[in-house]
Amino acid sequence: MRLRRVVVTGLGALTPIGNTLQAYWDGLSNGVSGAAPITQFDASKFKTRFACEVKNFDPTEFIDKKEARRMDRFTQFAIVTSDEAIRDAGLTSENINPDRVGVIWGTGIGGLHTFLSEVTSFAKGDGTPRFSPFFIPMMIGDISSGMISIRNGYRGPNFVTMSACASSTNAIADAFNYIRLNKADIIVTGGSEACVNEAAMGGFNSMKALSERNDDPQTASRPFDLNRDGFVLGEGSGALILEDLDHALARGAKIYAEVVGCGLSADAYHMTAPHPDGLGATNVMKNALEDAGMKPEDIDYINVHGTSTPLGDPQEVKAITNIFGDHAFNINISSTKSMTGHLLGGAGAIETIACILAVDKGIIPPTINHTTDDPAFDTRLNLTFNKAQHREVRAALSNTFGFGGHNASVIIKKFTE
């Protein structure tokens, strides 16, 4: 069968460096850090006392107050960004068939705020079960795609992908495949996460995964730097409207870029550590290139997983050099987690958006906070340190890797008819 072409016609973002798509892009291109002391709970006794929080967020500005109270924060984020993306794409009841519009969303953890609040309240009580009737539907990860479809009346394919930090890239890959296989005309996709709370911070601290640079939070996320000491927890959401090309052209939609390939793989190695030879990361990029029918030389920009951990960064760069060879020195590589922190299951969504905008605008967002070279990285690599760089981006690749060895990559290409 003929595979249909899939384009991006709408975007939405709610991030630690900007609460709209434009604000997010401004933050990226200007190298803004979203890290600051935690405001959502008293973190004074924690090893890490800072995070990349979404700032000045009031859900009732976007959602009815009663409805908002029945949503976990991660679902509120999903609603806000999907609303922005739908508006951006110009989707209306007149130009879509709701039976052919789906929602495929990603989240790594889901309603952790709700779970923590309900269980804490029970533990502090006298043992009498007094749980909210909304506890379970607020907590479960799939409620995000469900609420987006309910809000908009979209009756096409609807589910959530959950693969840790690869979750929203998996969602984008599934959305891409469903459209090109003619299972839907349009899919709202992306991901959201909201885990800046005691449970997540305590859990990641106990794993020694987080930076503990409490004296200087803004520079704590420093991928590829010799003195990196762990990732910075972030929260937020990104939404994309993926659409069949013919459908988009028929309704006169603006087109940001084309999705041309995706790759999936597993490390099959360790619960949390990356494969020491970068095997899974190598395979996932190879699979994405093959799916897109592209050569390594066709890629101009890679938005890396790049979490700022001592183990993860070298393995990813090793994988890049495995796949791209000498062309790796011609590619711009950057980690936007240096600015946004790590959104866990939402990371792939906002980082794919960064790739789309890099293709659309010809600007590579930087890897900020670099001060000291690490001899583990070849100095011929262009890791886009500290300042955005301008260049034509014909195609960009976004990587996300999750606990459990889950790897997902997506390739974005400049649209040409």
The catalytic site residues sit at: 165, 305, 342
Six token digits for residue 365: 């967002």
d(CA 315, CA 312): 5
Task: List C-alpha distances in Å: 341 to 38, 136, 202, 308, 351.
Answer: 13, 28, 17, 9, 11
Q: Which DSSP state fits 3?
A: P
Six token digits for residue 193: 């996460």
Six token digits for residue 29: 């291109």
What counts of helices (H) and strands (E) characterise the chain?
13, 14
Q: Which residues pair with 367 in a beta bridge?
A: 385
d(CA 137, CA 148): 14
Beta carbons of 21 and 15 less than 8 angstroms apart: no
Task: List C-alpha distances in Å: 197 to 18, 68, 261, 367.
Answer: 21, 19, 36, 26
